[in-house]
Amino acid sequence: MTWTLTSDVSAYGEAVESWLLRDPVRNTVLVTVLRWIRSGQYSDPLMGWFVEHGEVRGAICHTPPYPLLISAAPAADVQSLVGLLVNRGRELTGVSGPLETAATFAAAWWEPEKDRRAERLYRLATLVTPTDPSGHLALYGPGRARIVTPPDLPVAVQWFRAFQSEAHVDLAADPAPVVSSRLNRNELVWWEVGGRPVSLAGVSTPIAGMSRIGPVYTPPDYRRRGYGSAVTYAATRKALDEGASEVLLFTDLANPTSNSIYQAIGYVPVGDYASIMFN
C-alpha cells in the first residue's frame, strides 16, 4: 500500500487516467484538471496515486494556489499521504474532495481548518424544458444565450473574481489564465438581455462523455429574475449537443435557492463534497 508522488504528468496520466475514467462522474474535477495540466495551464503541479494489491485506489492533484484535489480514499491512506506531503514541504491552501475524505485529510493536516464550504454534486437525469405558448423558456423571461468571445475577456475575468470573492474559493488565484483558456475552448456562456450580459456559466468540453457546469454567476443587480436558471439551462443544452452523456454541477449547500433551481431543470444528487481552507 503506497502513494507515489510526481510532477510528471505523463507518468501520472499513464498510472491513473483509466482508473479515473471508470467513474468520471465522481472523479469529474480530477479528470478535467488532468486535461488542463496537459495543456500547460498550471505551473508546479504535484500529482499522485495510491496503489493497493497492484491496483490504483486513489488519486490526488495539486496546482498552486488552488487547494489539493483528492479522490475518495480510506482514512489510514489519507493520513499517510499527509505525512508524505509534509515531508516534501508542500504548502497547501486547502483540500477539496468527497466530504469524508476531505474532512479526514483536514483533520490530519498540520494547519487548522479556517473555512469549510459544503457542496453537493448533481448529475443531470432528464433536462426539463419549460416553455410558454409562444415557445419561450417560461421561467426565464426575455433573453438569449451567447458564447463568450475574446472581446468579452475583461468582463468575464471580473465576474470570475467576483464569484471567487462571494464563494470564498480560490481567493489567491488569478482567474485570468483560466478564463482565457476556457474562452478559447468556447466553454463560457452568457445569458444576455437587451444585448447586455446578466449571467455567466462555464461548461467543460466533454471528456469520456462527461461535462461539468460551473461556475455559475449572476451579479447582484440581476439576481432573482431567473437569469441563473436560464444560463444553466443553456450551458446544459450546449453540453448535451456536444455529446455529453453525463452533465454535472456542484452546488453550495448553504444556498438552498441554487439547489432548488438545478433540481427544477432535471439535476439529481450524487454525493456530498467539501472544500476546506487552512489558515
Where are the domain boundaries for CATH 3.40.630.30 in the chain? 122-271
What does the pLDDT read at residue 142? 74
What does the pLDDT read at residue 74? 86
**Where does the pLDDT of residue 33 fall: very low under 50, low under 70, confident under 90, or very high at 90 and above?**
very high
User: What is the value of pTM for the model shown?
Assistant: 0.92
Q: Summarize pLDDT for 215-231 with one digit per residue, the tens.
A: 999 999 999 888 898 99
- Mean residue pLDDT across the chain: 92
Name which residue leads in pLDDT, 134 or 71: 71
CATH number of the 2-111 domain: 3.40.630
What does the pLDDT read at residue 43? 85
Architecture of the domain spanning 122-271? 3-Layer(aba) Sandwich (3.40)
Q: Summarize pLDDT for 5-32 with one digit per residue, the tens.
A: 999 999 999 999 999 999 999 999 999 9
Q: What is the mean pLDDT of residues 184-212?
A: 96
**Where does the pLDDT of residue 140 fall: very low under 50, low under 70, confident under 90, or very high at 90 and above?**
low
CA 35 remoteness from chain centre: 13
pLDDT over threshold 80, residue 130: no
**56-70, 106-120, 158-172: least confidently modelled range:** 158-172
What does the pLDDT read at residue 136? 57
* Torsion of the alpha carbons at 24, 28, 31 and 35, rounded to the nearest 10: 130
What does the pLDDT read at residue 22? 95
From CA 184, how far away is CA 237, in angstroms rounded? 19
CA-nearest of 190, 242, 239 to 211 is 239
What does the pLDDT read at residue 135? 54
Q: Summarize pLDDT for 164-174 with one digit per residue, the tens.
A: 998 888 878 89
**Where does the pLDDT of residue 141 fall: very low under 50, low under 70, confident under 90, or very high at 90 and above?**
low
What does the pLDDT read at residue 137? 54
In DSSP terms, which residues pair with 246 in a beta bridge? 210
Name which residue leads in pLDDT, 115 or 134: 115
pLDDT over threshold 70, residue 199: yes
